[in-house]
């Protein structure tokens, strides 16, 4: 494997994964064109609630991709089917529970964040409609993970782009033509999520290189592989809870600095998501190659995957930091014409320029561990990074306000990179033995 092979997977995966935050970014940008910062704040809070719920189950995509890649490497077709069927069962159950518990979930979220009255009203409008797409969104997570793991990259790209183009078009129509404001933004996202799920099911059926036959309940819940999946998912859930702790504290504290700062932070966080998902594209490529290497115990492929992950972490971080610094005058006005919000965003945007340099290794190396379905080190590195964040949060924020908040976030991102890099030699040892670990370390 060389750079060309790696990029042949990474580039379409970057295009595919970067469309994921577009659901939130487009909603935020459209809300930013309305007459009050409360609109963009309401959509930002509503989006954060769904990020919270869906990120809790983000393992549905990540672990599915790892198990599917390993089944592809070992050429085990029955395991390929089970790699999708098992997480779909969890997705359906969790999505229905979100719908049933929507009122207490909304109440708890708004009580925790405590936005002002108008922002809370718009956030409630957004939440109460979009919640009905929960089962479809979670099933789509499973489908996307499976398609990526099976190296069906063009199909993955088609699914992501079609869903997000639909969301953009409907956002524009509902807000600018029918003047539905926040309700229209939420309806556009709901329709896009349901349609994306249906298209995904059709793409799996028509593009899979095997006949799909539903497994029996006994095979589906076979204790040994099901336990392995649940252990991986448990560690990914803990990792996600750590992420949510950081992002929810960040948003809640930002809300206390006023509507303009909350809106500015929302815009900068959306830009951060776009950068993070560029790294996620590289991580997904690394995950697929690492999964294949583990599936067929190919140490050379694993070593080359690790080397290319290091190189493209550095290259992509440099390009993103320099690119944002040069183009920020063009990027920020795309989100809102409100001068007060733009001025606030410009005050704090230096932290976004530094983010790629701090976060790149943690976000890309994550793919190596997920492809190997060895998630314990990811969980541990995230926990340690949260401790770094909390230390900065309780010291820097009182001293420096919103700048201190962004400093805490940057230190958290740097901690993820440092602690996960420290775990790589141990992963190599577990997979291929002491000699391989020593070779990789050298």
pLDDT digits over 384-435, tens only?
A: 999 999 999 999 999 998 999 999 999 999 999 999 999 999 888 888 775 4
Instruction: Examine residue 441 and state whether it is found in any structural domain, yes or no.
Output: no
CA distance linking residue 57 with residue 60, whole number of Å: 6
The residue among 206, 221, 236 that closes a domain is 221
Using DSSP, state whether 264 is helix, strand or coil: helix
pLDDT score for 435: 43
Q: Is the per-residue pLDDT at 33 higher than 90? A: no
Indicate the range of 30-44, 246-260, 306-320, 338-352 predicted with least confidence: 30-44
| Of the residues 199, 221, 243, the one at which a domain ends | 221
User: Residue 218 pLDDT more than 80?
Assistant: no
- Same domain? For 210 and 282 the reply is no
Considering only CA atoms, which of 189, 187, 131 is closest in space to residue 163?
Answer: 189
- Which range marks the domain in which residue 272 is found? 228-432
CA-CA-CA-CA torsion for 223, 224, 226, 227, nearest 10 degrees? Answer: 100
Residues sharing a CB contact under 8 Å with residue 201, sequence separation 6 or more, in sequence order: 139, 143
The mean pLDDT of the chain is 84
Q: What is the pLDDT of residue 392?
A: 95
Last residue of a domain, one of 221, 247, 267: 221
Torsion angle (degrees, nearest 10) of CA 424, 430, 432, 433:
100
Structure tokens at 130: 């979009």
Residue 26 vs residue 379, higher pLDDT: 379
Based on the domain organization, do 217 and 233 belong to the same domain? Answer: no
Torsion of CA 264, 270, 273, 274, to 10 degrees: -120
Residue 189 maps to a domain: yes
Residue 114 CB: number of other CB atoms within 10 A? 12
Q: Is 442 inside any structural domain?
A: no
Q: Which helix (H) or strand (E) holds 258?
A: none
Does residue 154 surpass a pLDDT of 70? yes
Nearest-angstrom CA–CA distance, 178 and 187: 12
At residue 439, does pLDDT exceed 60?
no
- How far is CA 179 from each of CA 29, 34, 41, 260, 334, rounded to the nearest angstrom? 15, 10, 18, 23, 20
Q: Are residues 213 and 244 in the same domain?
A: no
**pLDDT surpasses 80 at 40:** no
Q: What is the CA radius of gyration of the chain?
A: 21
- 18 has a pLDDT exceeding 70: no
Distance CA 38, CA 211 (A): 51
Residue 171 has pLDDT above 80, yes or no: yes
Same domain, 44 and 168: yes
Residues 209 and 256 in one domain: no
Residues 182 and 215 occupy one common structural domain = yes
Mean pLDDT of 343-355: 90
The answer on 140 and 249 residing in a single domain is: no
What pLDDT, on the 0 to 100 scale, is given for residue 438? Answer: 47
Sign of the C-alpha dihedral, residues 426, 242, 276, 61? positive
118 with 214, same domain: the answer is yes
For range 216-223, the mean pLDDT: 71
CA distance 403 to 396: 8
Where does 215-349 have alpha helices with state H?
A: 217-220, 223-255, 259-295, 299-331, 339-348
pLDDT confidence band for 213 (50 / 70 / 90): low
379 falls within a domain: yes
Segment 251-263 mean pLDDT: 83
| Mean pLDDT score, 196-223 | 75
Backbone phi and psi for residue 252, each to the nearest 5 degrees, phi listed first: -65, -45
* Beta strand extents in 314-378 (DSSP E only): none
Q: Is 405:393 a contact under the CB 8 Å cutoff?
A: yes
The rounded distance, in Å, linking the Cα atoms of 126 and 120 is 10
Confidence of residue 70 (pLDDT cuts 50, 70, 90): confident
88/69 Cα distance (integer angstroms): 17
Distance CA 89, CA 94 (A): 9
**Per-residue pLDDT tens digits for 86-102:** 889 889 999 999 999 99
- Do 199 and 234 have their domain in common? no
pLDDT given for residue 211 in this prediction: 59
In a domain, 438, yes or no: no
> Among 361, 348, 267, which Cα is nearest to 314's?
361
Number of H helices, E strands in the chain: 19, 0
3-state secondary structure of 77: helix
The answer to whether the CB of 389 falls within 8 A of the CB of 405 is: no
Q: Nearest-5° angle of CA 331, CA 119, CA 396?
A: 65
- Do 217 and 241 belong together in one domain? no
Which tens digits make up the pLDDT trace of 284-343?
889 888 988 888 888 899 999 999 999 999 999 999 999 998 988 888 888 877 888 888
Residue 439: inside a domain, yes or no?
no
| 32 and 130 assigned to the same domain | yes
Per-residue confidence (pLDDT) for residue 20, from 0 to 100: 60
Total number of domains in the chain: 2
14 and 45 belong to one structural domain:
yes
């Amino acid at each position: 494997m060389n750079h060309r092979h790696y990029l042949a997977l990474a580039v379409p995966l970057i295009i595919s994964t970067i469309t994921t935050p577009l659901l939130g970014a487009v909603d935020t940008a459209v809300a930013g064109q309305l007459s009050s910062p409360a609109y963009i704040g309401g959509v930002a809070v509503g989006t954060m609630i769904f990020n919270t719920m869906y990120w809790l189950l983000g393992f549905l995509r990540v672990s599915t991709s790892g198990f599917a890649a390993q089944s592809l490497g070992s050429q085990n077709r029955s395991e390929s089917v089970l790699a999708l069927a098992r997480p779909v069962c969890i997705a359906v159950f969790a999505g229905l529970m979100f719908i049933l518990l929507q009122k207490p979930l909304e109440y708890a979220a708004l009580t925790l964040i405590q936005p002002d009255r108008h922002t809370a009203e718009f956030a409630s409008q957004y939440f109460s409609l979009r919640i009905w797409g929960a089962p479809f969104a979670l099933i789509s997570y499973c489908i996307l993970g499976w398609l990526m793991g099976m190296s069906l990259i063009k199909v993955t790209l088609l699914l992501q782009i079609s869903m997000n183009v639909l969301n953009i078009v409907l956002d524009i129509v509902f807000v600018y033509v029918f003047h539905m404001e926040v309700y229209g933004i939420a309806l556009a996202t709901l329709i896009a999520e349901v349609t994306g799920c249906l298209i995904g099911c059709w793409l799996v059926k028509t593009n899979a290189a095997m006949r799909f036959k539903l497994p029996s309940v006994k095979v589906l819940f076979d204790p040994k592989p099901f336990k392995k999946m649940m252990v991986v998912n448990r560690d990914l859930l803990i990792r996600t809870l750590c992420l949510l702790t950081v992002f929810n504290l960040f948003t809640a504290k930002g809300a206390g600095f006023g509507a303009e700062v909350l809106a500015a932070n929302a815009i900068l966080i959306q830009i951060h998501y776009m950068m993070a998902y560029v790294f996620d594209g590289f991580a997904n490529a690394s995950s697929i190659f690492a999964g294949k290497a583990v599936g067929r115990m190919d140490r050379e492929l694993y070593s080359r995957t690790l080397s290319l992950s290091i190189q493209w972490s550095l290259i992509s971080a440099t390009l993103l930091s320099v690119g944002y610094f040069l183009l920020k005058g063009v990027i920020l006005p795309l989100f809102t014409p409100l001068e007060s919000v733009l001025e606030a965003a410009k005050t704090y945007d230096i932290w976004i320029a530094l983010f790629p340099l701090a976060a790149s290794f943690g976000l890309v190396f994550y793919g190596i561990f997920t492809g190997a379905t060895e998630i314990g080190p990811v969980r541990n590195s995230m926990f340690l990074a949260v401790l770094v964040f909390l230390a900065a949060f309780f010291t820097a924020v009182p001293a420096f306000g919103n700048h201190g908040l962004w400093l805490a976030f940057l230190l958290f991102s740097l901690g993820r990179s440092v602690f996960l890099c420290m775990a790589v030699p141990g992963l190599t040892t577990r997979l291929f033995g002491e000699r391989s670990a020593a070779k990789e370390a050298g």
